Every structure is written in structure tokens, then in C-alpha cells.
């Protein structure tokens, strides 16, 4: 199996031609059981650098025709191939070979590139400062004792830590988990987990940072980290919040 973008394929063929090795190179490309050609249509087949890119491309497609499988991934409709490739007769010959015994698989939905772009757009720093850890904990039914200063203490709510604790025998006075309400951070002395609200949610849900951030953004949109005393009493019960947050 071999993977190439249409650009890299043309480049390899063009370089082979420059050293008079085009025929063996084309033969090599014809031997792969499966050749995947990606990004066909992203650039005008590199016509600026390689004016006869289409004829190089055609040699490979023609050589593989009815011998081995070729997958072409493109966002160019067949109707637009002539315009994209620039040589109508050769394009028609190429299309004949491409569609001969071909399966067309249309992809629907968002492209992976767009999705990744959107993923990268999460402002983690902003999110960390916006999500109130204490409020997040209360939404999953967390109850604490007052510790020193603005510290609040309790047994650790992290599922992984709880299973460790129960196997070691439960301790009602367990206060290994503490949060610093004003600093919006937590620490557990038993499991060692520590950090901000985003770190906590990632550990609590045992998921990736991105998934944790996405859940917080989707379900915690209105939350703002404001001092405890200035917050109005909650209307909703912690149970229904927890259900919403965990998507159950």
C-alpha cells in the first residue's frame, strides 16, 4: 500500500523524469496493491511547477487500470475535472480510467480539517479561569468541611481515588481532598491529583483534555468564577446538574 498526495506524487514523478528514471518510477507505482492519492484538487495539480502534471498523473492511473486498486480522495466534482486539469481530451481519457469499475463514496459531514481547526480553537486559559471549581464540584454532589483559611476539605470525589480508598477500607474522617476556593485550585493528598477546574474534570471523567474542555463548554456555558458570597442561591438541585454534566 502506498499513500501520496497528488502534489507529492507529481513531485516524485517529475524528479524521476529529471534523472531519466520516469518509466521505472511509474512501474513502481503500478506495483502497489493499493495506491491512495489524497488532496486531489487542492492545488491545480502543481501545473505552475510542472506544466504537464496531468500527463504524469495519467501514466500512473493508466498503468494501474484494471490491475490494482487506486483510491482518489478529492473535493472536485467530475464535472469540474476538465477545468481543474486543464487538458480536456487527456482529462476525458483519465476520467474513463478512473470511473471504470469504480465505486464512488461520498463523504458527508464536517471535514476532519475543519473539525481539528475548531478543536484547536478552545481557549484553555480562558476556560480555566472561567469555570468555578467549587461550583463544578457542587454540581456533582460534592460536600465539604471548612478547612484552614478559604480551604475546603472532603473525601476525594475522583472515581479512581474512591475505588482505591474503598479497597483500603473506608474512613469517614477522610479529608484528603482540598480546594482553595479563592485560587480556584484543588489537590488530593491520596491520589496526587491536583490543578484547576479543567484538570479536575479531565480526571473525574477520565478523558482527554479536549473532551473535558468540550463538556465544560457545552454544559457550563453560564458559569463564571465569582466569589462564593456574591453568588445567588442555586435553583437547580446538584443531582440534575450532575446528570446534565455527565450526559446521563
Instruction: Out of 13, 16, 50, 188, name the contact with Zn ion by CB under 5 A.
Output: 188
Radius of gyration of the chain (CA): 29
Task: Report the C-alpha gap between 70 and 60 in whole angstroms.
Answer: 10
Q: Give me the least distance between CB of 152 and Zn ion, in Å please.
A: 15
Residue 98 touching Zn ion (CB under 5 A): no
Q: Which stretch binds Zn ion (CB under 5 A): 35-43, 52-60, 66-74, 183-191?
A: 183-191
Q: Which stretch binds Zn ion (CB under 5 A): 23-31, 85-93, 138-146, 157-165?
A: 157-165
Residue 191 touching Zn ion (CB under 5 A): yes
Q: Give me the least distance between CB of 177 and Zn ion, in Å please.
A: 6
Residue 161 touching Zn ion (CB under 5 A): yes
Q: Which stretch binds Zn ion (CB under 5 A): 11-19, 93-101, 120-128, 149-157?
A: 149-157
List Cα–Cα distances, 4 to 62, 66, 157, 196, 228, in angstroms.
Answer: 17, 20, 49, 43, 57
Q: How many residues does the chain have?
A: 248
Q: Give me the least distance between CB of 137 and Zn ion, in Å please.
A: 13
Which residues sit at the interface with Zn ion, rule CB under 5 A?
Answer: 156, 158, 161, 188, 190-191
Amino acid at each position: 500500500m502506498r499513500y501520496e498526495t497528488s502534489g507529492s506524487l507529481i513531485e516524485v514523478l517529475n524528479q524521476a523524469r529529471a534523472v531519466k528514471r520516469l518509466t521505472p518510477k511509474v512501474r513502481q507505482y503500478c506495483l502497489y496493491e493499493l495506491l491512495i492519492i489524497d488532496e486531489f484538487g487542492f492545488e491545480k495539480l502543481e501545473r505552475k511547477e510542472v506544466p504537464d502534471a496531468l500527463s504524469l498523473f495519467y501514466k500512473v492511473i493508466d498503468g494501474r487500470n484494471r490491475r490494482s486498486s487506486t483510491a482518489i480522495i478529492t473535493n472536485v466534482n467530475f464535472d469540474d475535472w476538465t477545468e481543474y486539469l486543464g487538458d480536456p481530451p487527456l482529462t476525458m481519457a483519465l476520467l474513463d480510467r478512473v470511473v471504470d469499475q469504480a465505486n464512488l463514496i461520498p463523504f458527508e459531514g464536517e471535514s476532519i480539517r475543519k473539525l481539528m481547526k475548531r478543536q484547536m480553537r478552545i481557549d484553555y486559559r480562558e476556560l480555566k479561569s472561567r469555570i468555578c471549581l467549587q461550583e463544578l464540584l457542587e454540581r456533582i454532589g460534592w460536600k465539604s468541611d471548612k478547612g484552614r483559611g478559604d480551604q475546603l476539605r472532603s473525601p476525594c470525589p475522583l472515581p479512581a481515588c474512591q475505588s482505591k480508598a474503598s479497597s483500603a477500607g473506608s474512613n469517614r474522617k477522610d479529608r484528603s481532598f482540598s480546594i482553595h476556593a479563592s485560587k480556584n485550585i484543588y489537590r488530593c493528598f491520596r491520589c496526587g491529583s491536583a490543578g484547576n477546574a479543567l484538570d479536575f474534570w479531565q480526571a473525574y471523567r477520565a478523558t482527554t483534555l479536549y473532551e473535558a474542555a468540550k463538556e465544560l463548554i457545552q454544559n457550563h456555558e453560564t458559569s463564571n468564577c465569582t466569589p462564593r458570597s456574591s453568588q445567588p442561591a442555586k435553583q437547580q438541585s446538584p443531582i440534575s446538574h450532575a446528570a446534565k454534566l455527565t450526559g446521563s
